[in-house]
Amino acid sequence: MGKRKLIRIHRNNRKVNAMCLAIPARVLEKHGDNAKVDFGEGTTREVNISLVNVNVGEYVIVHAGFAIEVLDESEARETLRLWDELLSRTEFTNTQ
């Protein structure tokens, strides 16, 4: 996977570490500097691909609407499998 960067943010006058997340997606279509990508299970979005040289059918890491790295297919599939596993074990609750 690509490099992970920890950032420091301030919350309630305390410093806490947070990690930026980037998600693998498969490129379905290209249109200039943009592409339609599939994050799995029919979740598609338009992202900017100007930072990478990618072809339709390849996988990219997407962060904040930008493809930031091209991934090997096996690495992308393993990462998506791990995300699915994590999400299936996580219980989401409404805290409001």
Task: Judge whether residue 1 has pLDDT over 50.
Answer: no
- Domains of the chain, residue spans: 22-89
- Tokens standing for residue 85: 């596993």
Fold designation for 22-89 = SH3 type barrels. (2.30.30)
DSSP 22-69: -EEEEEEEEETTEEEEE-STT-EEEEE-TTS---TT-EEEEETTEEEE
Average pLDDT, the chain: 80
pLDDT tens per residue across span 14-52: 555 555 678 899 999 999 999 999 988 788 999 999 999
Whether the pLDDT of residue 6 is over 90: the answer is no
Output the pLDDT for position 5: 47
